[in-house]
């Protein structure tokens, strides 16, 4: 599929914002949705909306088949061994909180260590802070090198035999760096720790094979990979999930309920209490079909070219600071930057007037912002539907921003 054919599948892109054609450069926050996903959601609500795993009526059976069919699509997408290892959640945040609250609370004690990095998103920091407080475990940070990458020497010196959990993002939502999670998992395992991977920014953009990475848990969100909001995935190795307690209790996750005791359903359903996110999961299944049709390898290649082009073009803007490694080989498809003394919210506002959507703020990574010595930054993030023309418009917009605020230069 060529880029123009891909763009035609995303109806939202075909509009004007503030009188200018929309240039959507905020896919790291949430991606746009192709017609296949929109129509799948529409069909579910129009034709077979029903609860799952309950009755035997025809619509209920159809909904259950579609919901469980989506689980199999996710299993295949990440190459998990079994559907029992694929839990539907509300998103990356819920998935990481589940691991911390269930596995963490049960397996950590005073003197144990949890290891993360300075570049983590808040949703891969705060759940660990909370469980560390509850259990007396210590939270430790792998430092970053000057260009924002992680060195395996630092990983080796931070992880010790006291480390029980290592949790690292595969792709940074700010620096764009791709972390060597497979190698980090090996070091974690050599020290007797488990490895958690935050795949929020990697699952949409690159092939993930959980067996090859040998991670113990993987968390990601549907809405960043062409799927609906409100659906995400927690992958976990079966032998670990089997020993873990659910964090939500109620309907559908139980086997027997007595007056004072209850038992749980088998995996993965013991972690899916209540009416699950049926439409979301079915929509995620359609998103996965779409990504497979385009091909993850083609997406990686396309974004890699865009990132290299963006780095080259954006570097020519006077007064720009680009964060993270400047070597495109070390990066995924996003560029975080600041424009001299102009506040990133002002940058984003001027760009918005040109129809260009970028994100400004701390990107839910305040410790990293402090490390970068920036209170906030602006970020342009790319996906399979972006073009070099989008980047040209961004660069033109940045030049305009600079002219607009010329008194500060």
Q: List contacts with ligand 7TS (CB under 6 A).
A: 28-29, 91-93, 121, 123-124, 169, 173, 198, 200-201, 221, 359, 363-364
Task: Return d(Cα 354, Cα 360) in angstroms, integer.
Answer: 16
CB of 284 to ligand 7TS, least distance (A): 12
* Residue 98 near residue 131, CB atoms below 8 Å: no
Cα-based angle 226, 166, 213 (whole degrees, multiple of 5): 55
Count of all residues that appear for the chain in the document:
409
CB of 220 to ligand 7TS, least distance (A): 8
Enzyme catalytic residues: 364
If phi > 0 it is left, if psi is from -120 to 50 it is alpha, else beta; for residue 192 that is left
Q: Which of 200/206 has CB closer to ligand 7TS? A: 200
CB of 261 to ligand 7TS, least distance (A): 33
Q: Which residues contact 268 (CB under 8 A, 6 or more apart)?
A: 71, 83, 84, 85, 86, 87, 88, 241
One-letter-per-residue 3-state SS of 38-99 = HHHHHHHHHHHCCCCCCCCCHHHHHHHHHHHHHHHHHHHHHCCCCHHHEEEECCHHHHHHHH
Q: Which of 89/163 has CB closer to ligand 7TS? A: 89
HSE-up of residue 182 (Cα within 13 Å, Cβ side): 7
HSE-up of residue 290 (Cα within 13 Å, Cβ side): 28
CB of 232 to ligand 7TS, least distance (A): 6
CB of 291 to ligand 7TS, least distance (A): 17
Task: Return d(Cα 291, Cα 259) in angstroms, integer.
Answer: 47
Write down the H helix ranges in 244-314: 278-294, 296-314
Task: Return d(Cα 319, Cα 386) in angstroms, integer.
Answer: 25
Task: Return d(Cα 175, Cα 147) in angstroms, integer.
Answer: 9
CB of 336 to ligand 7TS, least distance (A): 10
If phi > 0 it is left, if psi is from -120 to 50 it is alpha, else beta; for residue 212 that is alpha
């Amino acid at each position: 599929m060529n880029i123009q054919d891909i763009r035609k599948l995303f109806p939202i892109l075909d509009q004007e914002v503030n009188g200018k054609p929309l240039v959507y450069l905020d896919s790291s926050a949430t991606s746009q949705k192709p017609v296949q996903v929109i129509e799948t959601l529409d069909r579910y609500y129009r034709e077979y909306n029903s609860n799952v795993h309950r009755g035997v009526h025809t619509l209920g059976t159809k909904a259950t088949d579609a919901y469980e069919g989506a689980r199999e699509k996710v299993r295949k997408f990440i190459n998990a061994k079994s559907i029992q290892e694929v839990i539907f959640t509300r998103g990356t945040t819920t998935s990481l909180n589940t691991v911390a609250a269930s596995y963490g609370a049960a397996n950590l004690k005073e003197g144990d260590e949890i290891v993360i990095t300075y570049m983590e998103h808040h949703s891969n920091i705060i759940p660990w802070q909370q469980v560390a407080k509850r259990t007396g475990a210590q939270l430790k940070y792998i430092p970053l090198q000057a260009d924002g990458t992680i060195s395996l020497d630092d990983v080796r010196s931070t992880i010790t035999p006291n480390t029980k959990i290592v949790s690292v993002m595969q792709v940074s939502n700010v620096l764009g760096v791709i972390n060597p999670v497979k190698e980090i998992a090996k070091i974690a395992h050599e020290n007797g720790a488990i490895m958690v991977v935050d795949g929020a920014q990697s699952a949409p953009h690159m092939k993930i094979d959980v067996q090859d990475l040998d991670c113990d848990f993987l968390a990601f969100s549907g809405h960043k990979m062409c799927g609906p909001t409100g659906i995400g995935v927690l992958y976990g190795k079966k032998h670990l999930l089997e020993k873990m307690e659910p964090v939500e209790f109620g309907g559908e996750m139980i086997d027997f309920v007595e007056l004072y005791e209850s038992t749980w359903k088998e995996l993965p359903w013991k972690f899916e209490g209540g009416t699950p996110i049926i439409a979301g999961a079915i929509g995620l299944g359609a998103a996965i079909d779409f990504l497979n049709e385009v091909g993850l390898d083609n997406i990686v290649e396309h974004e890699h070219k865009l990132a290299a082009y963006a780095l080259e073009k954006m570097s020519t803007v006077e007064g720009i600071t680009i964060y993270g490694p400047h070597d495109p080989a070390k990066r995924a498809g996003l560029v975080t930057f600041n424009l001299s003394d102009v506040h990133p919210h002002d940058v984003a506002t001027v760009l918005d007037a040109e129809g260009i959507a970028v994100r400004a703020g701390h990107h839910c990574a305040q410790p990293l912002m402090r490390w970068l010595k920036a209170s906030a930054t602006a970020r342009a993030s790319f996906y399979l539907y972006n073009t070099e023309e989008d980047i040209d418009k961004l660069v033109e917009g940045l030049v305009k921003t600079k002219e607009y605020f010329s008194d500060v230069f």
